[in-house]
Amino acid sequence: MKKEKPENPTIFSEEIPTKPSKKRKKPRVILLVFLCIALLLTAGLWIMTVIIYNDNFDQRFESYEPHMFLVSDFDGLERTKYEFTSDKGQKLTGYLYRMRADETSIDSETSAESDLSTDSETSTDSETGAGSTTGADGLAGGESGDYRGIIIFAHGFGAGHNSYMDCADYFARNGYLVFAYDASGNDESEGIGKESSLGGIPQGVIDLDRAITFVEESGNFPDLPIGLFGHSWGGYSVCAVLTYHPEVKAVIECCGFNSSAAMFEAGGKDQAGSFIYAMLPFVRLHERIKYGKYASNTAMKGFDASNAAVMIVHSEDDGVIPIEYGLDLFYEKYKDDPRFVFMRLENKGHSYVLNDRSYINEFNTGFNEWLETLDYDYTEDKDRFAADKADYIHENLDREKWSNMLDKEMFEQFLEFYNENIPG
């Protein structure tokens, strides 16, 4: 039998490398091109989202002077000015509102001090927001028996707390102290960066967190139970801040929303359509980088972290924050929770949801008639029109009617809610 020739044994065996064929290399190149395009599109969408976000929210906001309330519009109302520090060192301005002892509608055996001037000022300079008062009019703990509690206001988006002075007057007139402040980048408060701007939506929760801590720890205020009141952006803030302040007793939230991204979505959906959903992940990422834990906080997280009583107020025709972003969402989860009260409204809109609009309609009728008398195109000559409009408002606004536009029936329900849930 013929033996097979054994294979030649080798110590090392090495295949001769062959060059990859062009057919194998081509798919890798195509994949790399697609990855580069996807990366560029992602980066471009991220940059565009941040630009749009900053154009809308990272701005400075001032109240329209002809519409601003004056303390003198409200008989017996007094206020004391305070300053406290927020997260980036910016000084925020707030005011404690109260009634003169002879004006308040509640009965008390002892009367509160009534030596405050109409716009007396008190300031603090502590980095932690727990400073000491420099004026003679700061409240001390010994006066707490004259008030049922302290209600802290968080204002809506677009200007400071001035638009809610009539609300502060109502609660002050009914036995509460009211602390209302201008958030970062609004009216009398400093902002962030060179432009002294707001920064973004979560800043509202940060500022309110600091405001509550200031009221509780500065030593300038009586040791009283705290209630919160917020509208729109402020509505979101008073709910989300419960995560950090579960000691709050009662919250009234008007026309708010659950998360900061929800405000971006609600405001941009009409303009961007379904494309807004492609932008939302970048909104969340941008806020997470900028605000850390505050960015991921939500109203519902605040509800779940607290035992506070909560009243949710929203109108079905709200065109700024649609009701499905607020009351409907909260109702679905908390409708059987006895802590929650839901006030579903009709034909109240957003900006004037708290008001009886009778005088607004009356004033607008006269204003529209005045527009017809102008001998120039006010859409073209905007500077002239701005000056003429301000003059018209100053001359024709009935300040007594303007400062008494609250929906009284609604506020009676608000007061009853606070009285039931804030131990007096």
Give residue limits of the domains in the chain: 65-421
CATH tag for 65-421 (out of 3.20.20.150, 3.40.50.2000, 1.10.10.410, 3.40.50.1820):
3.40.50.1820
Q: Is the dihedral of CA 71, 207, 151, 344 positive or negative?
A: positive
How far is 116 from 127, CA to CA, in rounded Å?
26
Q: Whole-prediction pTM value? A: 0.84
Query: SS3 of 361, please?
Result: helix
Q: Which pLDDT does position 139 carry in this prediction?
A: 57
Q: What is the DSSP string of 239-282?
A: HHGGGT-TT--EEEEES--S-HHHHHHHHHHHHHGGGHHHHHHH
- H/E segment holding residue 219: none
Q: What is the pLDDT along the chain (424 residues), one digit of tens a residue?
A: 555 555 555 444 455 555 555 555 678 888 888 888 888 888 988 899 999 999 988 999 999 999 999 999 999 999 999 999 999 999 999 999 999 876 654 433 332 332 333 344 433 333 333 333 433 355 544 456 689 999 999 999 999 999 999 999 999 999 999 999 999 999 999 999 888 999 999 999 999 999 999 999 999 999 999 999 999 999 999 999 999 999 999 999 999 999 999 999 998 888 888 889 999 999 999 999 999 999 999 999 999 999 999 999 999 999 999 999 999 999 999 999 999 999 999 999 999 999 999 999 999 999 999 999 999 999 999 999 999 999 999 999 999 999 999 999 999 999 999 999 998 7
Q: Which pLDDT does position 269 carry in this prediction?
A: 83
**Phi–psi pair at 340, nearest 5 degrees:** -105, 140
**Phi–psi pair at 14, nearest 5 degrees:** -135, 125
Q: Which pLDDT does position 111 carry in this prediction?
A: 29
- Strand 150-154 versus strand 226-231 pairing type: parallel
- Which residues, 6+ apart, have CB-to-CB distance to 113 below 8 Å? 101, 137, 143
Contacts by 11-20, CB closer than 8 A, 24 or more apart: none
CA angle 335, 336, 342 (to 5 degrees): 35
**Phi–psi pair at 392, nearest 5 degrees:** -60, -45
Residue (of 353, 363, 327, 354) closest to 342 by Cα position: 327
- H/E segment holding residue 312: strand 309-315
Residue (of 70, 218, 76, 68) closest to 152 by Cα position: 218
Q: Which pLDDT does position 237 carry in this prediction?
A: 98
Structure tokens at 312: 């949710």
